[in-house]
Structure 1
């Protein structure tokens, strides 16, 4: 592509994906690109990729449909960024990335793109999907059941995935009640021994308890990250009501006390359940 053709594409509002790819190529050009973009590598960009994925999830959670388009664009840019760096290193390109995921989708949906019957439930499709993924791992000669569960996943999400993998080979509590008992056991051990444990031991025991809670989420078919985000949002809404009610009294939270704020919390909770708080 000549410099003139590149400029025309970069400034073409109808240029679509080729325009975005060319913009990224130009940003990374070692002679004429952006100094900041040139300095980046896979490791430095990875945190932004994770952040953008969460911002997409946040817009969906808030049903902020007017924001979702922009957030999806930011996330797409991350793929384009990694693909450009991959091409520069001779590892892969945007084209090969797109080809790989397209091939994977076709292979994992034989009931749509092959000759298998579509007459199956969503649950059966999920089981079939996991079977296909297991065959793919076997073809890659994966060394262990837990080998390719990504380390960079949020800890609660990774805990659930690790537990799902272990459950496939029979390493799992058969009853929800047993998981609940395990949570109570871990919480009791932490509470009873907290004065005799070292800091490292306390962190370990607390981690064991969280792992058990993640296991309960899996048994109840609850996504723990989603559940905790929803609770964070609920806490934020109700605490803002406390702040607003205190403000009408000419007070701030630091001027109040636990008893007063707890009473206001219960008021906020009742108002929310009555539909008075959006």
Structure 2
């Protein structure tokens, strides 16, 4: 990477890149790692992890050129963070259960944030959650941060009630015809759905991805059935398509 960024002998494209221009590539490579894992393609995973590592090296090289930090400091910092966040492994601390381990992890992260803020103006406990995260991931992280400071329902049952309440408000907004209000209420419904997922110990991002894959399998089934009849989807009545959907649910139940 140092050679690629050399002003005299390097690559013109690599020389043009900066932190901001690399953002979409870094995000894309992370998603391609996830895709390889979900496909159980471990040969591909090896390559995708290399592509993701390249992004770390690329950013580190740009930082080194600017006198900010280098790759060795990046690796050293994550090593130190892993040690500080695992006292039960490196410092002989004993935890009785996963909840205690998670609490210690959260406290260690909070302490790291406090140290960063020590010489600056106090900021929200929600600060530091990346704005570029997928919306579901960002929402979950924000809610977890708030919950760690006591702003959360103590159990799941009230969250079910809140979901019903928000769904009713979406329906009322839809009846009003006010699109801005509908937009707001749908957002509130999605937010409380993420909250419910947290209380049920479900990762909302993964759950939605799995649901989307399930929808895709069932829809592909319908497409094949309709194509076998010499027609296209638009030629079918909704009732027929709904019947095929129900058949897909039965036949693909174990898929």
TM-score, normalising length from structure 1?
A: 0.85
**Structure 2 unaligned regions, length at least 5:** none
Cα distance in structure 2, aligned partners of 1:60 and 1:123 = 27
Give the secondary structure class of the aligned counterpart of 2:201: coil
Deviation at 1:36, TM superposition (A): 1.9
2:180 and 2:231 mapped to 1: Cα distance? 40
Measured in 2, the distance between the counterparts of 1:231 and 1:172 equals: 26
Residue correspondence of structure 1 range 106-121 to structure 2 within 5 A: 106-117=83-94, 120-121=96-97
Match of residue 169, structure 1, among 139, 144, 149: 149
- Residue among 30, 46, 55 paired with 1:69: 46
Give the distance between the partners of 2:71 and 2:237, measured in 1 at CA: 57
Shift of 1:87: 1.0
Is 1:91 the counterpart of 2:68? The answer is yes
For 1:178 and 1:107, locate their aligned partners in 2 and report how far apart those are by CA, in whole Å. Answer: 36
Which residue does 1:6 correspond to in 2? none
Match of 2:205 in 1: 225
- Partner of residue 108, structure 2: 132
Q: Which residue of 1 aligns with 2:132?
A: 152
Question: Residue 186 of structure 2 aligns with which residue?
Answer: 206
Counterpart-to-counterpart distance in 2, 1:64 and 1:184 = 41
Write out per-residue CA displacement over residues 245-272 of structure 1, whole angstroms, 9 at most, x where no aligned residue.
1111111212223111111111111111
Partners in 1 of 2:229 and 2:177 — Cα distance?
44
Looking at structure 2, the residues matched to 106 and 124 of structure 1 have their Cα atoms a distance apart, in angstroms, of 17
**Could you say if the C-alpha distance between residues 44 and 135 of structure 1 is closer, same or farther in structure 2, counting changes exceeding 3 Å?**
same
TM normalised by structure 2 equals 0.92
2: distance between equivalents of 1:209 and 1:41? 38
State the distance in 2 between where 1:137 and 1:197 align: 44
